[in-house]
């Protein structure tokens, strides 16, 4: 395979260093590369495997991989032909001694991420499933990459990655031009570029094979622990990671003892993904705060060291975060949630791990059973075992490989994710700005839940003569915060357009996320296209939502500003088959009402 050499990648020095340190000491715990597509994340991960001793494997785990493919399962051919229960290795076995790369790790099912991180930490894969009890060595360097705009990992999983680096394309024209020229040269003649960098690659590989972690004195360990405690790092993973990474850095640079400057250079990479306490906090770490803490616990840094390695110490968004936080008002505590009466069918419940647990034809295999009706998903391993047992018990040459009675149905479980579509009336009627601001706050609040489970949130605004999608389906607080800065208001009320657009958005993710519409309106329709009666058009859109079977809620703001109450929103809710939430609850606590409504319908986060 033609791959751009590791040493030929332009820039990305911090990402390169993080990968090399993990190669020096895999116990650091892997690297999480966060950034937009096209920033050389996968190129660096693949290039690292070429630098490791011997013919080190590079294994890429696709997002759609099943648990069987990852951990291994029963060998089907051996079981069918000879009734033998033999282990068939998975990707974790193939990655032993090399690099396991997971692109879009934030989109991987949580239980698979847990498995990867457990094996990466222990170096052993234990398999207890489908009649197989097996363990094998699986020592690999775990590299995950993700685009934060597609949603973040749960905090528990983020903490398990040793180092994290923000990977972004350079904004300097010269650097970008150099990177483009090198890529074009490589595409035109890969062998020529490889030959040009063969010496640099050999030198890196030789240096890496000789590098071992340096010694770490007790005083420096104490300083590292004090540093982690002062910035609020929870648990001891940050302390251990910094100790190991600093020792690896000293060893990589050929020194026998680890110094405080080594700690300074690796601490941001170990703490950047562990700094967020709340999903609504800015992403990353306050580098002024970190610098002050390091000055206090490690002593003032040397000017030469800071100058030489500033590119490694700072993160691309650090200055932006500082500017955004300077002079900012303290974030108000989130309002309390208003209890709402549940409907007859009651709120959906949630099991541990977030999201409603559902039995389906996809998800994690938790058992098997003899089919009772149409089979949703075949338990291949269990079916093979049953067939092998039958064939070994009945010595008849003409018996089928798999008989009807051998088939076993898989019992699977997966967390039922939801897609909450908030549709808000932003017309010029009384109180519209307050309603829009409430919707904005509610969307950000709902994303606090989405941060911990795989729910999505969207926002549709309708006013004037149409509806606009202000926030595409996302679980990223960062994206939502950026997109919801300004929400326009004014004009007539195209209720038909708002309901229709909300239903369209809900359907886009219906195959993977259960939709929930939350419509904030007074039920008054004052515009419809093509000369249609506005109220009749809105009623038709409500009927379409009911026919689609989409769960929905009407948050009724009629009368919230002191105007007359005509009961239009209640009538709309009846046509939609939606839960109706009266104006009183909304006016007392608008954002809290919307959040509470959504949680009543989707279930709490465990």
Which residues carry out catalysis?
237
Q: Are the beta carbons of 208 and 24 closer than 8 angstroms?
A: yes
**CA 228/CA 217 separation, integer angstroms:** 17
Distance CA 602, CA 421 (A): 12
Pairing state between β 356-360 and 58-60:
unpaired
For every residue of 134-156, DSSP letters joined together read EEEE---EEEEEE-GGG-PPPHH
CA distances from 74 to 57, 69, 87, 90, 132 (A): 23, 11, 5, 10, 7
Q: Can you read off the two tokens belonging to residue 541?
A: 């859109």
Residue 598 C-alpha from the chain's centroid: 21
Which residue bears the tokens 């800071």? 306
The full DSSP string for 37-82 is: TTSSHHHHHHHHHHHSSSS--EEE--TT--HHHHH-EE-HHHHHHH
What is the biggest distance separating any 2 CA atoms in the chain, rounded to whole angstroms? 85
Residue 3 burial by Cβ neighbours in a 10 Å radius (0-12, 13-18, 19+)? middle
CA distances from 361 to 49, 63, 327, 368, 603 (A): 36, 18, 52, 12, 22
Q: CA angle at residue 151 from 147 to 154, to 5 degrees?
A: 115
Q: Which of 549, 569, 531 is nearest to 425 (CA)?
A: 569
Residues 6+ away with beta carbon under 8 Å from 296: 230
């Amino acid at each position: 395979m033609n791959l751009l050499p590791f040493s030929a990648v332009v820039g990305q020095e911090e990402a390169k260093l993080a990968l090399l340190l993990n190669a020096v000491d895999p116990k650091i715990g892997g690297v999480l590369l966060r950034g937009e597509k096209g920033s050389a994340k996968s190129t660096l991960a693949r290039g690292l495997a070429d630098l490791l001793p011997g013919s080190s494997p590079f294994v890429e785990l696709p997002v759609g991989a099943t648990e069987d493919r990852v951990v291994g399962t029963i060998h089907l051919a051996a079981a069918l032909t000879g009734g033998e229960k033999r282990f068939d290795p998975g990707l974790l076995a193939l990655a032993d001694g090399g690099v396991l790369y997971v692109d879009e790790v934030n989109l991987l099912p949580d239980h698979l991420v847990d498995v990867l991180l457990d094996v990466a930490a222990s170096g052993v894969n234990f398999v207890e499933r489908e009649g197989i009890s097996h363990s094998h060595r699986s020592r690999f360097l775990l590299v995950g990459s993700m685009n934060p705009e597609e949603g973040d990992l749960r905090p528990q999983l983020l903490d398990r990655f040793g180092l994290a680096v923000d990977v972004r394309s350079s904004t300097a024209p010269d650097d970008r031009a150099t990177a483009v020229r090198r890529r074009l040269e490589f595409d035109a003649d890969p062998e020529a570029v490889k030959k040009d960098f063969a010496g640099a690659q050999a030198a890196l590989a030789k240096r890496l094979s000789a590098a071992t972690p340096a010694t770490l004195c007790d005083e420096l360990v104490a300083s590292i622990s004090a540093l982690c405690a002062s910035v609020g790092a929870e648990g001891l993973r940050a302390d251990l990671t910094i100790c190991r990474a600093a020792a690896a850095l000293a060893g990589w640079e050929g020194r026998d003892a680890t110094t405080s400057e080594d700690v300074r250079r690796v601490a941001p990479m170990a703490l950047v993904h562990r700094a967020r306490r709340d999903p609504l906090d800015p992403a990353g770490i306050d580098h002024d705060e970190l610098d002050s803490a390091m000055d206090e616990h490690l002593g003032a840094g040397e000017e030469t060291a800071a100058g030489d390695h500033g590119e490694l110490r700072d993160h691309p968004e650090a200055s932006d975060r500082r500017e955004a936080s300077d002079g900012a008002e303290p974030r108000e505590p989130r309002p309390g949630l208003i209890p709402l009466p549940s409907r007859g069918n009651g709120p959906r419940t949630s099991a541990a791990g977030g999201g409603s647990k559902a039995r389906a034809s996809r998800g994690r295999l938790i058992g098997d059973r003899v089919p009772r009706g149409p089979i949703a998903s075949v338990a291949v391993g269990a079916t093979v075992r049953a067939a092998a047992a039958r064939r070994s018990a009945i010595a008849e040459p003409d018996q089928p490989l798999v008989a009807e009675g051998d088939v076993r149905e898989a019992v699977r479980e997966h967390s039922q994710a939801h897609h909450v579509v908030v549709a808000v009336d932003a017309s010029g009627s009384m109180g519209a700005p307050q309603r829009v601001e409430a919707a904005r706050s509610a969307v950000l609040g709902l994303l606090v839940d989405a941060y911990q489970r795989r729910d999505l949130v969207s926002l549709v605004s309708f006013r004037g003569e149409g509806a606009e999608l202000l926030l595409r389906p996302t679980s990223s607080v960062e994206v939502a915060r950026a997109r919801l800065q300004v929400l326009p208001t004014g004009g007539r009320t195209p209720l038909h357009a708002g309901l229709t657009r909300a239903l369209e958005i809900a359907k886009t993710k219906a195959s993977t996320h259960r939709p929930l519409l939350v419509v904030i309106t007074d039920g008054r329709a004052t515009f419809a296209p093509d000369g249609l009666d506005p109220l009749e058009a809105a009623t038709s859109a409500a009927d379409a939502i009911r026919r689609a079977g989409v769960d929905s809620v009407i948050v009724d703001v009629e009368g919230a500003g002191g105007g007359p109450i005509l009961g239009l929103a209640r009538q709309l809710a009846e046509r939609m088959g939606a839960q109706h939430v009266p104006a009183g609850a909304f006016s007392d606590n608008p954002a809290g009402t919307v959040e509470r409504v959504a949680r009543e319908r989707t279930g709490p986060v465990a």
